[in-house]
Structure 1
Amino acid sequence: MNSPTLAPLARRTAIRPIRMIHLGLGNFFRAHQAWYTDTASDAAEWGYAAFDGRSPRMSTLLRPQGGAYTLVTQAPGGDELRVVESLSAVHAATEAAAWLGYFEDPQVAIVTLTITEAGYRVDPAGAHAHEVAALRSDPRAAVASAVGRLVAGLLARRAAGAGGIVLLPCDNLPDNGPGLREAVTRYADRVDPTLLAWIDAHVTFGSTMVDRITPATTPALVAEVERQGGFADSAPVPTEPFTEWVIACDFPAGRPDWDATFVDDVTPYEHRKHWLLNGSHSLLAYRGLLLGHVTVRDAILDPDCRGWVERWWDEAQRHIVLDADSNAAYRGHLIERYENPSIRHELAQISMDGSEKLLGRVLPVVLAEREAGRVPEAALMVLGAWVAFLRARPVPVRDPRADELCELAALPDLGDAARALVAVLDADLASDDQALDGIVAAADALLAAREGAAR
């Protein structure tokens, strides 16, 4: 490489004032919220202090670059490189004093989060009781969980008299705003019940729907950025041209001029994205991996997988209240995005955390269809593919409940395994024999096809 940093670009004539905090310094944030901020008309007025979730890897890579990095938009016609400069400071998760310091600054108006579904789970009376005890003893104690860090920040902001702040979750989580509010207030109540009234008066919880396919960074991308850009970047981010951000939130202290869609209720957009995009991603991941595919593009070009995706969309669309023409256009965009030869979105990455993702991506459609008296063949196939995936393990299972799931999947009888696994998602559905028959049939057919292909 020519240089260990981006310094030869001579960018960053001025560091932007820090008015926002972000937790979760991964690729999606840098392709989405950070990019939206960098491209805003008033970008010079809004800088981020961004913190790693747990691992210090990303802050370690970005700090020598001054927080700057290259966003590589991979279109069918070629790549577009843009140096993003909205990160004015980057920090490791362990830098608790810096975290609290930003909360104490009245100029900081917004906290955005990309902490994945698992980050919103908190048990202040159980697994996180030690954090609660630490904050009771010392409100400035360092804690590790995302929700605990937010509560510590709010304690510091109240003590500093720094005024109101917006908490804006940006994860693929149904009702992410109310979900974050519930997690924060439940945790805060255990630490200091008097904080609840201050939160009600000073904290705004927004809701969002976010969308932009963002694969993992590879050594090949690092080398390609150096070749095309003529500079070295240790942390470039690949992404697709399509992006969407729908926000329902008031911003009492202002916000960047984001090119987003602002609405009163994100729910219809959320349903469409979670069910049509994320649900089909899960379908392609589990069915595709069992059939020997590696990427989303590989799977969507397989007529078998493409056909099931279309059938899944037909079932899910019955429960989306946005107009039919808009939904049809959205489906067309999804096919274009999946077939993009420049995006390598690995199915193994999408297969992660199925026990959590399926709750919002697939289960609502299954339950709505069953309530309507229908047997949703495609929706049940997705669950069957998940069962078969856990039983066959074409790639390592990465899930917060991986050990438990793999043990249940290994039960000698497929029907028993399927019932036990479905019960992890929804106990009532596991008692629905007609639905379970569809799930078992789908899993059995996929396992037989995989076994036959291996001979």
Structure 2
Amino acid sequence: MTGTPTTDRRVAHLGLGAFHRAHQAWYTEHAHDDWRITAFTGRRPDAARLLAAQRFAYTLIERAADGDTAETIRSISAAVPGDDARAWLDTIADPRTGVLTLTVTEPGYAVDAGPPARIAAGLSARRASGAGAIAIVSCDNLPGNGRMLRDAVLAHARADAAWITENVAFVDTVVDRITPATTPADVEAARELTGVSDPAVVVTEPFTEWILHGEFPAGRPAWDAAGARFVDDVAPYEERKLWLLNAGHTLLAASGRLDGYETVSEAFADDALRDAVEALWTEQRAVIDLPPEDLDPWLDDLRIRFANPRIAHRLDQISRDSAAKVPVRILAPLRRRREAGLGGGEAQRAAVGSWIRSLLELPPPDRTTLDVARMLEPLSDGERIDTVIAHLTPRPHQNPQGDTK
């Protein structure tokens, strides 16, 4: 539903970073209706001040392999420093605000993190004002992100818990659009494309995806007009992203760095590494509960995305926290293959072996991977793979963790 038309309908947003401006703000711009965004920063006020200086408009550059295109995004009508508690409470309590979206990254969903308490306080103010129901839309890479946020917010709700349960819809989503950090060269590229110097420019890839499941009791922008999909169950789409895109990233981050590559596109251009990724995709797609029409075109897009040399997705960044990523990206679908009687998955085992080699032969990117490397070092190659599978495979229904966007 999109609700009864009114004037100045608002989406509140928490987490005013580049991904929000490349994703939710882009969808709201392309909805071509009267919804506008009041966006709050997280810990730092810089983005709000930067946008306020240019009346909240900014340049979005889509960077394809064959060139750049630019457009001006105007869907944000206010940008507010995160420490302005009064503005936050007033915005969430305002009956014109029908949706709250957030991009706070995975740690922000912990019960003891700031966002759940902040959202609970805003909902308490909304209840007191009599503003009515609202939808909260999680836009971070956590499977079941809406449900996880609901549990974290309710832990802070106290006397408002029953009202929140009755009046607040927590929407599960899958989001995807690679958005690197802006560089001085990007600012210059925006000036060349538009003739305007824009320090708030955002650069992103042409591909974008937004899949949502949940209710919108106070209406919403027509995001579906911009390509967003509303589905009955996001779980298969979460698995598609984790087990194809993210698993491919993890394999390239291990094997690519071992071969001296620095970015996804460099590693994917290596025929041997590309073949390894394709073999992994073949094994993993077999246990994703989606029809070919939801897998084949998506994989064709993924090949184009991986090969784009002008989006520098760094392998060292992807390799961080890999001990938490390998279980849900590779070991979980390996377990499902075995449960389905499809065998052990040779490409999956090879991917695990490449990851183990990267732990042992490259400087560890974090303390957890160092600990795993020390545990595996005394074992033979075969024993190492079997040990990882035996000890790191997540249990069925265990909540997996996502990655950075």
Same fold (TM over 0.5): yes
Aligned: 1:409 with 2:373: yes
Q: CA 1:429–1:418 in 2, change beyond 3 Å: closer, same or farther?
A: farther
Residues 221-252 of structure 1 show CA distances to partners (whole Å, capped at 9, x for unaligned) of: 11111222211111211112222212212212
1:183 partner SS = helix
Secondary structure of the structure 2 residue equivalent to 1:279: helix
CA deviations 1:60-90 (Å, max 9, x no partner) are 4333223222110112332111111111122
Measured after TM superposition, the shift of residue 330 of structure 1 is 1.7
The one-letter code matched in structure 2 to 1:276 is: L
How has the CA–CA distance of structure 1 residues 263 and 326 changed in structure 2, closer, same or farther, with 3 Å as cutoff? closer
Matches of 2:259 and 2:392 in 1, distance apart?
30
CA contact (8 A) 1:177 1:208 kept: yes
Structure 1 residue identity aligned to 2:334: V
Instruction: Tell me the residue number matched to 1:434.
Output: none
* Aligned partner of residue 155 in structure 2, secondary structure: helix
- Taking the aligned partners of 1:174 and 1:282, their CA distance within structure 2 comes to 18
Change (3 A) 1:412 1:355: closer
- Match in the other structure for 1:249: 214
Residue of structure 2 aligned with 1:272, choices 226, 240, 246: 240
Q: Secondary structure in 2 aligned to 1:109?
A: strand
Corresponding pairs, count:
385
CA displacement at 1:408 relative to structure 2: 4.3
Give TM-score, length-normalised by structure 1.
0.77
- 1:218 counterpart residue number: 183
**Against the structure 1 CA distance between its residues 65 and 213, is the aligned structure 2 distance closer, same or farther, given a 3 Å change threshold?**
same
Q: How does 1:309-328 map to 2 (within 5 A)?
A: 309-328=277-296
Distance change >3 Å, CA 413–CA 278, structure 1 → 2: closer
Asked if the contact 1:117/1:356 (under 8 Å) is kept, the reply is: no
Q: Secondary structure at the match of 1:238?
A: strand
C-alpha contact 2:328 2:393 (8 A) present in aligned 1: no
Counterpart-to-counterpart distance in 1, 2:26 and 2:46: 20
**Contact 2:255/2:354 (<8 A) preserved:** yes
Closer, same or farther: CA 356–99 of 1 in aligned 2, 3 Å? farther
Asked whether the 8 Å contact 2:327–2:394 carries over to 1, the reply is no
> How far off its partner does 1:34 sit?
0.5
CA distance in 2, matches of 1:29, 1:421: 39
1:167 aligns with 2:132: no
- Cα distance, 1:57–1:275 mapped onto 2, change above 3 Å: farther
Q: 1:17 to 1:379 in 2, by over 3 A?
A: farther
**What amino acid is the match of 2:132?**
G
- The one-letter code of the counterpart of 2:370 is C
- In the alignment, the residues of structure 1 paired with residue 140 and residue 122 of structure 2 have an alpha-carbon distance, to the nearest angstrom, of 20
Residue 150 of structure 2: aligned partner:
181
Distance 1:229 1:418, change over 3 A: farther
Among candidates 79, 93, 98, match of residue 90 of structure 1: 79
State whether residues 119 and 146 of structure 1, in contact with CA within 8 Å, keep that contact through their aligned partners in structure 2.
Answer: yes
Q: Relative to 1, partners in 2 of residues 1:23 and 1:210: Cα closer, same or farther, differing over 3 Å?
A: same
How far the C-alpha of 1:112 sits from its partner, in A, is: 0.9
Structure 2-normalised TM-score? 0.85
> Any conservation in 1 of the 2:360–2:377 contact (CA below 8 Å)?
no
Percent sequence identity over matched residues? 44
Residue 4 of structure 2 corresponds to none
2:28 match = 37
Aligned to 1:55: 44
Contact in 2 for aligned 1:25/1:53 (Cα 8 Å): yes
User: 1:299 — aligned with what?
Assistant: 267
Instruction: Say whether residues 1:227 and 2:192 are aligned partners.
Output: yes
3-state SS of 2:53 partner = helix
Which structure has more RCO (C-alpha within 8 Å, separation ≥ 6)?
Answer: 2
Tell me the secondary structure at the aligned position of residue 307 of structure 1: helix
Letter in 2 for 1:403: R
